[in-house]
Amino acid sequence: MAVKQKMNKEQFLDNYKKIKGRIHSIETFGAVDGPGIRFVLFLQGCYLRCLYCHNPDSWDLNGGQEINLKNILKNILAYKKFYKKGGVTISGGEPLLQHEFLYHLLDALQILGFHSAIDTNGFVDLKFSKKCIDKADMLLLDIKEVDEDDCIELTEQSNENTLKTLNYCQEINKCVWIRYVCIPGYTLKNEKIHKLAQLLQQYSCVQKVQLIPFHQLGSYKYKELKIPYKLESTPIPTSEEMYEAEKIIRQYNLPL
C-alpha cells in the first residue's frame, strides 16, 4: 500500500469521509468490466436515454443511495486479495457526471495501488472529464452508434462528445476498450460494423473491441418504472449474427 508511512489506514480513509457520491449498486466480483476480477461501482445518473438500457433506474441523478467515499474504500479493501490481477471499475449510469467525486475516488485508488477503469459513454464534456480520464488507468468507452442521426434516435443525444473523448485518449495514449452493443435492426448491420471498424482503425489507443449482444434482462424495470419500452419485440442476436459481426472486425485487424 502506497499510503504515507506516518499515516495508518484508518487515518488515510478518514480523509475521504466527507466526500459523498450517489451510488446505484455495487458488484464485488466483476469479470467482464476490464482486465481480471474487478470491484465494480455503479454511480447514479445518466443523461442518455438508450432504448436498450438495462438500468433505467440509474438515470435519475437524485436516485440511488448517497454513500461517503471512506465506506466505499473500506468495502473495496475488504476484497483486495481478489483484485491483484484486476482492479476497480467505475460504471453507471454515467460516472463522469459525478466527476468531482470520481476524481477523489480515482486518486485514492491510485494511492492504494489499485488498477482503475472508467466505464463511460463519453458524453460529458472534456472540460469536466479530462482530469478523471488522466487519473484512470484505462477507459471502457461505449460507442452507442457510429452515425450521428441514428445515435440521436437510439439515445436522444449526439455522439460528438464520445468521439472527442476517444480523440483525447489517442492524444494522451490512454488505454481504451471499446464497447458496442449489437441490436438487431439498429446497430447490428454489416454496414454499421464496417463503419465502426473503419473508425477504430485510426486509433492506436484502442486495445480491445467488445461486441456485446443485446439482451432483454432489464426489460422488467421499464414496467416497474412505468417507462415505455420500445424494444420489447426486438430479438436477441443469434450466435451466427455475432460471429459475422466479429468476423468483420477481424478483417480490419482490430483486437477482440
- Tens-digit pLDDT profile for residues 177-216: 999 999 999 999 999 999 999 999 999 999 999 999 999 9
Residue 252 CB-density burial (10 A; 0-12 exposed, 13-18 middle, 19+ buried): middle
- Start-to-end CA span in the chain (Å): 33
Q: What are the cell numbers at 50? A: 438508450
Q: What is the DSSP string of 140-167?
A: EEE---SSHHHHHHHHSS-SHHHHHHHH
Instruction: Tell me the Ramachandran region of residue 17: left when phi exceeds 0, alpha when psi lies from -120 to 50, beta otherwise.
Output: alpha
Grid cell 467515499 — which residue? 69
pLDDT digits (tens, 9 = 90+) for 146-181: 999 999 999 999 999 999 999 999 999 999 999 999
What is the pTM for the complete model shown? 0.94
Instruction: Parse the chain into domains and list their residue ranges.
Output: 9-251
Q: How far apart (Å, rounded) are the C-alpha atoms in residues 183 and 52?
A: 8
Say yes or no to pLDDT of 15 above 60.
Answer: yes
9-251 CATH, one of 3.30.565.10, 3.90.600.10, 3.20.20.70, 3.40.30.10: 3.20.20.70
Per-residue pLDDT band at 5 (split at 50, 70, 90): very low
